[in-house]
């Protein structure tokens, strides 16, 4: 019976430590969302919510301009990662959602400006979809990264 109580006590302590280790962050360099966090940090792993072409004031950048939107998305990803001590070179996995197939060259051009080291390119998935949260958005990227 004592052994069982010790195990239960250890489980409670483990749960408390695990919950406390997770940080949920909305960096001041990004627009402030409602209902979610831009960044969740769990130990040495960082999860980024889908980043869209909004500036720090919450205004959409580059309506109808795929290149401008892609660059803003990558700037947001960079800012989110830097807020927890990581960077673009530590992205492990990226999932990109695009609404227009013809935007692919603009996306690739922006991607190559920000992800410049071939040795650190992340695993990537690109999904063409019929729409995103705002009809003005042409691209959204979510990512998982490591802390340096």
**For the segment 8-61, what is each residue's pLDDT rounded down to a tens digit?**
666 665 565 555 589 999 999 999 999 999 999 999 999 999 999 999 999 999
Q: What residue segments make up the domains of the chain, in order of their start?
A: 22-146
**DSSP class per residue in 81-105:** HHTTT--GGGEEEEEEEES-GGGHH
Nearest to 108 by CA among 81, 145, 134, 139: 139
CATH number of 22-146: 3.30.1330.40
DSSP class of 60: B
Number of Cβ within 10 Å of residue 65's Cβ equals 15
Residue with the two structure tokens 């483990």: 14
Nearest to 33 by CA among 147, 131, 140: 140
DSSP class of 46: E
64-93 pLDDT, tens digit per residue, is: 999 999 999 999 999 999 999 999 999 999
């Amino acid at each position: 019976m004592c052994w069982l109580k010790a195990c239960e006590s250890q489980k409670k302590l483990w749960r408390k430590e695990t919950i406390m280790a997770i940080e949920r962050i909305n960096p001041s360099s990004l627009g402030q969302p409602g209902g979610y966090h831009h960044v969740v940090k769990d130990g040495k792993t960082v999860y980024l919510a889908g980043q869209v072409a909004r500036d720090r004031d919450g205004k959409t950048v580059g309506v109808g301009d795929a290149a401008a939107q892609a660059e803003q998305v990558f700037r947001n990803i960079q800012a989110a990662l830097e807020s927890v001590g990581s960077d673009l070179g530590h992205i492990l996995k990226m999932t990109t959602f695009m609404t227009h197939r013809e935007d692919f060259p603009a996306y690739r051009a922006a991607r190559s400006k920000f992800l410049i080291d071939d040795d650190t390119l992340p695993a990537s998935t690109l999904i063409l979809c019929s729409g995103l949260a705002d009809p003005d958005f042409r691209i959204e990227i979510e990512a998982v990264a490591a802390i340096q």
